[in-house]
Amino acid sequence: MWTSRISGWDFAEHCYDILILLSQISERPIFFTTLPTLPYLLPSQPGTPKTFYSQSTMSAPELASEALAAWDGIAPYWDEGIGKDGNKYWSVLQEPCLARLFQSTLDKFKLAPGSAPCRALDLATGNGLCTRWLAARGAKVVATDGSEAMVEIAKGRSVGVKGVEFRKLDVTSDTDFEALVNVEEGGRGFNIVLMNMAIMDVADIEPLARALPKLLAKDGV
């Protein structure tokens, strides 16, 4: 018997290759999620091992705090792996799926002369990849992340992109959502609310579930 050690990104790339192959065979995008503990599998710095530990005895607030701390630690490494314009996982799987989900909504606003732009909320924006994708298609975007490090990276990656506002928001926090709802109060809500490849890392989705009806516009997606 033999064993080998591979980095988190090497493991992820192997998974992506398999999924891309399956997508090509089926000739359609595949929807899937990744490991919920991915931040704990990635090292803070390339070449530095990170200890994996059980989270089963942690409360939801404790787990949320640990997860955000982990994302703060790996933010530069994560950004390097994704890149400004996305990796092959993005181009082959994620972007086609997002286009299928949101393009008709985006087109509806672009094709209506004189109408207000499509308003989008990007939760857990990471390095801002989805935010830039939405903005390039005419949307006015509020981009949020619970990791301050990720927000700063997303801002840096999005210099010159018009119609984008960044703010720190923890999706496990009712208080953070209430602050956003108060800002949006009197508005018409968001036409698109997106959380791409992140919900599996959320320790408690109830605050999100409570906030969505207050944030999503009528006929929003």
Asked if residue 138 is part of any domain, the answer here is yes
| Pair (77, 139) in one structural domain | no
CA distances in angstroms from 205 to 83, 116, 165, listed in the order given: 28, 31, 24
Q: b/e map of 53-62 (b: 16 or more CB within 10 Å)?
A: eeeeeeeeee
Nearest Cα neighbor of 189 from 104, 134, 118 is 118
pLDDT of residue 21: 53
Mean pLDDT of 119-129: 96
Asked if residue 93 is part of any domain, the answer here is no
pLDDT of residue 66: 85
Asked if residue 114 is part of any domain, the answer here is yes
Asked if residue 170 is part of any domain, the answer here is yes
| Pair (72, 106) in one structural domain | no
Any idea what the CATH number is for the domain that residue 185 is in? 3.40.50.150
Is the pLDDT assigned to residue 54 strictly greater than 50?
no
Burial class (CB in 10 A: 0-12, 13-18, 19+), 193: buried
| Pair (139, 38) in one structural domain | no
Higher local confidence (pLDDT), 48 or 198: 198
Q: CA Rg, the chain, in Å?
A: 18
Q: Which DSSP string corresponds to 124-186?
A: S-TTTHHHHHHHHTT-EEEEEES-HHHHHHHHHHTTT-SSEEEEE--TT-HHHHHHHHHHHTT
- Give the residue numbers spanning the domain of 50: 8-82
Highest-pLDDT range among 22-26, 32-36, 160-164, 183-187: 160-164
Question: What band does 56 get if pLDDT is binned at 50, 70 and 90?
Answer: low
Give percent of the chain above pLDDT 70: 73
Last residue of a domain, one of 20, 54, 82: 82
Angle at the Cα of 116 (from 113 to 122), degrees rounded to 5? 130
Asked if residue 90 is part of any domain, the answer here is no
Mean pLDDT of 150-173: 95
| Pair (114, 77) in one structural domain | no
Contact call for residues 119 and 184 (beta carbons, < 8 A) = no
Number of domains observed in the structure of the chain: 2
Highest-pLDDT range among 49-63, 140-154, 197-211: 140-154
Asked if residue 208 is part of any domain, the answer here is yes
pTM for the full predicted model: 0.75
Angle at the Cα of 33 (from 139 to 122), degrees rounded to 5? 20
* Calpha distance 56→58 (Å, rounded): 6
| Pair (118, 202) in one structural domain | yes
Asked if residue 96 is part of any domain, the answer here is no
Asked if residue 95 is part of any domain, the answer here is no
